[in-house]
Amino acid sequence: MRSVEKKFPILVPDYRFDQKNEMFKRRIWDKDFIEPGKRLYSEVKYQNRYGYRKLDYALRNASWNLEYGFGFGNMKSNHGLYSWTHISEKIKRFVETDGPVALGLEENTRIVKKAARFLGADLVGICYAHPNLVYSHEFDLLEMEHRKIELPENCTNAIIMAVEMNYDSSRYSPDGISGASTGLGYSMQAVLANLLAVFIRGLGYQAVPSGNDTALSVPLSIAAGLGELGRMGLLITKKYGPRVRICKVFTDLPLHYDNPTLFGVDRFCQTCKKCADHCPSKAISYEDKTNEGPSISNFSGVRKWYIDPERCFLFWNKNWMDCNNCIRVCPFNKPHGLLHDTVRSFIRQLPVFNRFMILMDDLLGYGRSLSSSEKDFWEV
């Protein structure tokens, strides 16, 4: 076992994933997805039904504006709010004055987590920036270039942060109201990653902010103790379930690493399968874990549940909208409260009751998509 592997608490494939093969990049070069991609991202199709009207699209598109207009974390590394070096000229002289702040490992960790939470992180953890979780190549959607990518030298620490998605709007999936919860998460994480990176540069260290660019978020989040991997292929957090968006900052600031956390997700997902039941594209597997995914868009090589990204993407195209059904129906996707926290405790400590918890989740109506006849988002 190589020394780099000894530092990392979870299994990682022995290669680096090429971002070109990520599903939302394949719409540019893969002939099977070019036309569906054009329809989804370039055409507008308002519909005379709740959640798909111009009103609903306006909310969805407004929520994305910081990401698409200033963040660019879904388009290009080292750009916009995710620039690896840019600092406003008004504060640059303060950052460049004197040398690095000299604090201890534990003190660095404490202040960075405090700053992250103050700046907008709902969850924060720290892990080693495993090189195999950095893309081998980035696929730049702004310049339409495919090129190798490496983190700056000595940026071996990763600060992983999660931003909560709005619970009420996510319950309308798969429509534009739910899409707004996704877009707002992406916009807010771009601001968060940028601000924390500038804070760390102000201490005299390198800081590389990252959204969906540069490196894989889910395995880094698991290693940093933010949650576990669910059947749906997303991070399941203890407090918010899968209802989060993830950003990172890579740095050479010395930091203490967190440990992975286990609270019953893996065993619960073996029984539950609600995400698979409610996936309109049938992209989520009912089967046991495997070592290989069904598509080049899967980061294969370790035993886990793999989704079918191609089926998922084609449903988005058919729906003219993104989809959060798997997030919406997940029993872990509940706001903080005595009842929900008690259920989470049962799942963690008494897994024998998992089937009962799933049954009660269904009987109480959790997970069904809301509509204007049941609860009008615009009137509440």
pLDDT digits (tens, 9 = 90+) for 153-200: 999 999 999 999 999 999 999 999 999 999 999 999 999 999 999 999
Q: Band of the pLDDT at 3, cuts 50, 70, 90?
A: very low
pLDDT digits (tens, 9 = 90+) for 205-252: 999 999 999 999 999 999 999 999 999 999 999 999 999 999 999 999
Distances (CA, A) of 189 to 121, 165, 183, 291, 300: 8, 11, 10, 31, 27
Map residue 241 onto helix, strand or coil. Answer: strand
Residue pair 185/165 in contact (Cβ under 8 Å)? The answer is yes
Q: Band of the pLDDT at 101, cuts 50, 70, 90?
A: confident
pLDDT digits (tens, 9 = 90+) for 110-125: 999 999 999 999 999 9
The pTM (predicted TM-score) of the whole model is: 0.94
Neighbours of 217 (CB within 10 A): 25
Token pair, residue 117, equals 């939470």
pLDDT for residue 2: 38
> 341 or 34: which carries more pLDDT confidence?
34
Q: What is the mean pLDDT of residues 351-364?
A: 74
Neighbours of 103 (CB within 10 A): 14
* 242 CB burial (10 A radius; 0-12, 13-18, 19+): buried
pLDDT for residue 4: 45
pLDDT for residue 339: 65
Considering the chain, what is the average pLDDT of its residues? 92
> 340 or 139: which carries more pLDDT confidence?
139
